């Protein structure tokens, strides 16, 4: 049984556990400019502190420590440290040309950690998700208030940037995760890139997609409700669809419920550990976070659970313990319906 086949079997029997935050866990290591530069980039002309993806080249042991901390508490899935490993996002550091190298190195680091833990616990293979972030450019919104039709990038440019990332790690990861989607058009470009790479390499791997509800409006930044978001990306036939980031578990629940009712696929969710305080830190305790999430499993809303910003191994361990043994959500039968998507879904029953 290969690694992902194990996940496909296990998800029918129990909640699958995803890892927690990479960025805030790296922040806890108090890394400085020299850590990000390493020897290779000691003379780089721009500041590199904060380019967390670069650490897979300059300080991989820092990234390994985060992966191992989540694998050590039993996470089934870990994400590559490649959230911004695209040529467009790396342009902020004048490192566009290095994006594919960073993406591949992120997968090599995650693969090493996952494989080592699989050897220790062969009855529980650990899988790697290739993290595909939202980019720092948006296709749906203009960055210029005075010119609503202006865009910094084109669809083809975004798609091409994603192709470079995905090609770099497709052979190393077990599945792909398009995550923290705030702009559905960016997500569509990522989906198009995924399909282009599948065509090029001659095989497919499972795809998971996770959007983000940005505030109390209950919508993505580009204006869609969770149901409309699902309708927009359902053609990709993802293994799982869900939500992450922006909100704590309490505020995320109704939106997860909406997706769970609408989507004929598995549901994943990885909320923040509450909302950031005045210092940008996350105060929600592991027990509090787990107590809010346990009813999601009991109400059969989710299949895959983890954490986003502020979530530590202790948070993920508490969530895993809270949902252990809870009966799983089955994929619902969705009646045939013409589904059109705008900011809200428009349904015409058959």
- Numbered residues of the known binding site for Zn(2+): 245, 308-309
Question: The tokens of 9 are what?
Answer: 């079997």
Question: The tokens of 237 are what?
Answer: 């036939």
What is the distance between the alpha carbons of residues 81 and 70, in angstroms, rounded to a whole number? 13
* Number of other residues whose CB lies within 10 A of the CB of residue 61: 10
Rg (the chain; Cα; Å): 19
- The DSSP code for 282 is B
Q: Indicate the SS3 state at residue 110.
A: helix
Q: Indicate the SS3 state at residue 250.
A: helix
What is the distance between the alpha carbons of residues 90 and 237, in angstroms, rounded to a whole number? 29
* Number of other residues whose CB lies within 10 A of the CB of residue 268: 28
Residue 120 class from Cβ within 10 Å (0-12 exposed, 13-18 middle, 19+ buried)?
A: exposed
Question: Among 179, 212, 188, 177, which Cα is nearest to 140's?
Answer: 188
Side-chain half-sphere exposure of 260, counting CA atoms within 13 A: 19
What is the distance between the alpha carbons of residues 2 and 127, in angstroms, rounded to a whole number? 10
Q: Indicate the SS3 state at residue 61.
A: helix
Q: Which residues are annotated as a binding site?
A: 245, 308-309
Rounded to 5 degrees, what are φ and ψ at 250? -60, -45
Rounded to 5 degrees, what are φ and ψ at 333? -85, 125
Helix axes 313-323, 60-72, angle to 10 degrees: 20
């Amino acid at each position: 049984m290969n690694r992902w086949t194990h996940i496909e079997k296990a998800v029918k029997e129990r909640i699958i556990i995803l890892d927690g935050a990479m960025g805030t866990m790296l922040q806890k290591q108090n890394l400085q400019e020299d850590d990000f530069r390493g020897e290779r980039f000691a003379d780089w002309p721009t500041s590199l502190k904060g380019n967390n993806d670069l650490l897979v080249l300059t300080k991989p042991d820092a990234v390994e420590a985060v992966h191992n901390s989540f694998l050590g508490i039993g996470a089934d899935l870990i994400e590559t440290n490649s959230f911004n490993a695209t040529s467009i996002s790396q342009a902020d550091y004048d490192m566009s040309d290095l994006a594919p190298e960073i993406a591949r190195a992120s997968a090599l680091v995650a693969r090493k950690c996952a494989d080592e833990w699989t050897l220790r616990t062969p009855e529980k293979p650990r899988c790697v998700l290739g993290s595909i972030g939202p980019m720092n450019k948006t296709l749906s919104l203009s960055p210029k208030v005075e010119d609503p039709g202006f865009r910094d990038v084109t669809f083809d440019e975004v798609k091409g940037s994603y192709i470079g990332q995905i090609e770099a790690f497709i052979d190393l990861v077990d599945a792909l995760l398009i995550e923290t989607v705030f702009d559905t058009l960016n997500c569509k470009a990522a989906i198009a890139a995924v399909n282009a790479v599948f065509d090029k390499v001659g095989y497919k791997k499972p795809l998971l997609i996770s959007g983000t509800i940005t505030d109390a409006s209950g919508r993505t930044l580009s204006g869609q409700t969770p149901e409309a978001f699902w309708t927009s990306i359902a053609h990709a036939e993802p293994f799982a669809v869900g939500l992450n980031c922006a909100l704590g578990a309490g505020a995320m629940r109704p939106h997860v419920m909406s997706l769970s009712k609408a989507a004929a696929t598995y549901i994943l969710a990885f909320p923040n550990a509450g909302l950031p305080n005045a210092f940008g830190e996350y105060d929600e305790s592991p027990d509090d976070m787990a107590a809010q999430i346990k009813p999601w499993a009991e109400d059969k809303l989710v299949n895959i659970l983890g954490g986003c910003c502020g979530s530590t191994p202790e948070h993920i361990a508490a969530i895993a313990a809270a949902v252990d043994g809870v009966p799983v959500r089955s994929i619902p039968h969705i009646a045939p319906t013409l589904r059109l998507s705008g900011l809200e879904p428009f349904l015409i029953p058959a």
